Amino acid sequence: MRLTYLLRLLLTVVVSGYAPTLIAQQSDLTLPTESLKFGVFVANFDPGGTFTLSGDRWPTIKGSWKAVRDEIEFMTSSGPPGCDGVGRYRLRTEGKTISFYVVSDPCQIRRMIIDGSTWSPASEVKTVPARAIVRTASERVSKLPAQESIKGNWPSFRGPAASGISEGQNLPDKWNVKTGENILWRTPIPGLAHSSPVVWGNQIFVTTAISTDPKATFRPGLYGDGDASKDHSVHRWMLYAINKKTGKILWERMAHQGEPIDKRHIKSTYANSTPATDGRIVVAWFGSQGVYAYDVKGRFLWKVNLGRLDLGAYDIPTYEWGPASSPIIWNNLVILQCDTQADSFLLALDATTGQTVWKTPREELPSWGSPTVANTSRGPQLITNASNFIRGYDPKTGEELWRLGGSSKITAPTPVFADDLIVVVSGRGPERPIFVVRPNAKGDVTLPEGKKSSDVIVWSMTGRGSYMPTPLVYNGTLYVLANNGLFDAYELKTGREIYRQRLPLVGSGFSASPIAADGKIYLSNEDGEILVISAGAKFMHISTNSMGEMLMATPALSERVMYVRSSSSLFAVGKKR
């Protein structure tokens, strides 16, 4: 059950949060008569003791309120079982804003929604403070080697241009962690991370966040809860370099140590972003903790503090989920997609120095997908997936080239590019769209209502986009994997459905993205099973191989080996030579 469905079913008043301090008592309490806003919501409190609450894509809520001593009591005219009792809240006013903090409330969802919410006049225009970007560079300037060919390497999330494809791997169809069959090595990795491994030359790079809480964990599965983890203990944010032939740790660097600046979703970690490398430097992005660059020998080059990056529910700002977008390196630029509750922007840093090359503000909701540079017939385009618009940019300057509306309000999959077509999907309802776009797009190419194609949009559909996994385009077929194990295949150039298949062994669902090699597709479920599927017009399940540990990260491919990052290990899967 998705978060929005659950909250719509159970919603009875305002929004979630957390009170860091006790609230002083206030007498003669009254609520403002002017309209108040919080997130997507507008509330009106009538002096006679009634209220209405409405929000984009939410049903209108009605009820009554009254002041009792130093508290506000809320009653709703309808609600789920257990929510017909009184909710009691303390009120704090600061200027024209008011905040609510729970005293008691038998309704869990009402308490979750009202507690900690801060409301301001609906007519008020908020000013977002200018974001300070602070760079710190090494005193020793390291001369970097010339960049090598990308061939055989897996430099960022899902490999070159996020394609997820590397041919000539000759991987086994079956392996067994318990017996060691086709397992070349296994290296334990401490901490929690959903980031994927990247590979260049003889090195694999992985990140992690190590909590001082020995019980720190995350919760996998198919559920809609939007709660944050309670783990706010001191962490160490780490980068490891590992020998890809032996699994030996070559070096490790602690990028940052301290308490997390933000909260994280209970299914998330504090190291979600996959690192990126170009064979000269490796860049790790740890959200509000900063961006860190090292050379491939582990020498510190620079770090950039972007300030706090607050990402969470677009409609309920007090839900914090943490970031997940990964950096990419293109033509000596480190490119970051930063879409937050306060301000959103794209940022290009000089890969050698960390200095800002360009920064492009954008009006966006929080997003979690990574950017992709597509080498199109019209030149390179930087493609981003986000809620208000899917956009194309000039990666050299950050200038926006085109935009396409109609996406989901929550976006996580990364754009992909194949056969001179751009594919972008997202899986939050009701839209859940798939768009296939030509690279000649200019300006606003949003489809009119009721239209599914245009001169620029080759085809589109709703209700079929994936929520977490990035789609795969392989040999002219677009494969879309849903969290719940529905696996769809479409003809890329026409949108014709080839098949729709419910995968076996769905278990806790699928978060990792598909990868492909040599006519086979590899699908990793959260319970640690990797399904091997034959690519092509007919669905064929070849085998299932258990890693014995949870899998949230997308595997990497390089030189006849698949590198699988589990919840606690890094595995090398391949035929023994």
Q: Where are the domains of the chain?
A: 3-121, 194-361, 371-465, 469-577
Q: What is the DSSP string of 52-71?
A: EEEETTEEEEEEEEEEETTE
11 pLDDT band (50/70/90 cuts)?
A: very low
Number of C-beta neighbours around residue 549 at 10 A: 16
Give, in order, the Cα–Cα distances in Å from 473 to each of 43, 176, 260, 557: 46, 29, 37, 16
Each residue's pLDDT tens digit, 222-256? 998 888 999 999 999 999 999 999 999 999 999 99
Q: Which two tokens stand for residue 450?
A: 């009721």
Question: For residue 555, what are its two tokens?
Answer: 């595997």
Query: Is a pLDDT exceeding 50 seen at residue 287?
Result: yes
Contact 234, 256 (CB under 8 A): no
Residue 96's CB is within 10 A of a number of other CB atoms, namely 13
For residue 78, the model assigns a pLDDT of 66
pLDDT of residue 9: 35
Mean pLDDT over residues 88-117, rounded? 88
CA R_g for the chain: 24
- Give the Å distances, CA to CA, from 86 to 65, 70, 510: 10, 15, 40
- Of the candidate CATH numbers 2.160.20.60, 3.40.640.10, 2.40.10.480, 2.160.20.10, the domain formed by 371-465 belongs to 2.40.10.480
Identify the DSSP state of 450: T
Tokens of 310: 């607050």
Quick check: 410 and 387 in contact, CB under 8 A?
yes
Helix and strand counts by DSSP (H, E) for the chain: 2, 42
Q: Return the CATH architecture of domain 3-121.
A: Beta Barrel (2.40)
3 state SS for 124-179: CCCCCCCCCCEEEECCCCCCCCCCCCCCCCECCCCCHHHCCECCCCCCCCCCECCC
Q: Which of 23-32, 300-309, 407-416 has the weakest average pLDDT?
A: 23-32
Over residues 54-75, the mean pLDDT reads 87
Q: How confident is the model at residue 442 (pLDDT cuts 50, 70, 90)?
A: very high
Is the full-model pTM beyond 0.85? yes
C-alpha to C-alpha distance for 437 and 565, rounded to whole angstroms: 32
Name the more confident of 535 and 33.
535
Give the pLDDT confidence of 309-334 residue by residue, as tens digits.
999 999 888 889 999 999 999 999 99
What does the pLDDT read at residue 7? 37
Tokens representing 496 are 């014709």
Distance CA(239)–CA(232), nearest Å, equals 20
Q: How confident is the model at residue 490 (pLDDT cuts 50, 70, 90)?
A: very high
Each residue of 544-572: pLDDT tens digit? 999 999 999 999 999 999 999 999 999 99
Using pLDDT thresholds of 50, 70 and 90, give the confidence band for residue 25.
very low
23, pLDDT greater than 70: no
> Does the pLDDT value for residue 77 go beyond 70?
yes
Of 410, 226, 403, the closest CA to residue 314 belongs to: 410
% of the chain beyond a pLDDT of 70:
94
Laid out side by side, the sheet with 434-437 consists of 416-418, 421-425, 434-437, 457-461
Instruction: Report whether CATH 2.40.30.10 matches the domain 469-577.
Output: no
CATH number of 194-361: 2.40.128.630
How would residue 6 be classed by pLDDT, with cut points 50, 70 and 90?
A: very low
Given a cut of 60, is residue 371 above it in pLDDT?
Answer: yes
Q: Mean pLDDT lowest for which of 61-75, 293-307, 370-384, 530-544?
A: 61-75
DSSP code of residue 280: S
| 250 burial level (CB within 10 Å; 0-12, 13-18, 19+) | middle
Domain 3-121 and domain 469-577, same fold? Reply is yes
463-485 pLDDT, tens digit each: 999 999 999 999 999 999 999 99
Rounded average pLDDT over 43-65: 87
> Does 8 score more than 80 pLDDT?
no
Mean pLDDT of the chain: 92
pLDDT at 18: 34
Give residue 552's pLDDT: 98
- Those residues whose C-beta lies under 8 Å from the C-beta of residue 441, and which sit 6 or more positions away, are 392, 401, 402, 404, 456
Closest C-alpha among 280, 278, 275 to residue 295: 280
Residue closest to 322 by CA, chosen among 264, 260, 369, 259: 264
Give the span between the Cα atoms of 310 and 340, in whole angstroms. Answer: 5
- Give Dmax (Cα) for the chain: 81
Distance in angstroms (rounded) separating the CA atoms of residues 91 and 67:
10
The SS3 of residue 14 is coil
Top-confidence residue, 30 or 104: 104
Q: How many CB atoms lie within 10 A of CB 90?
A: 20
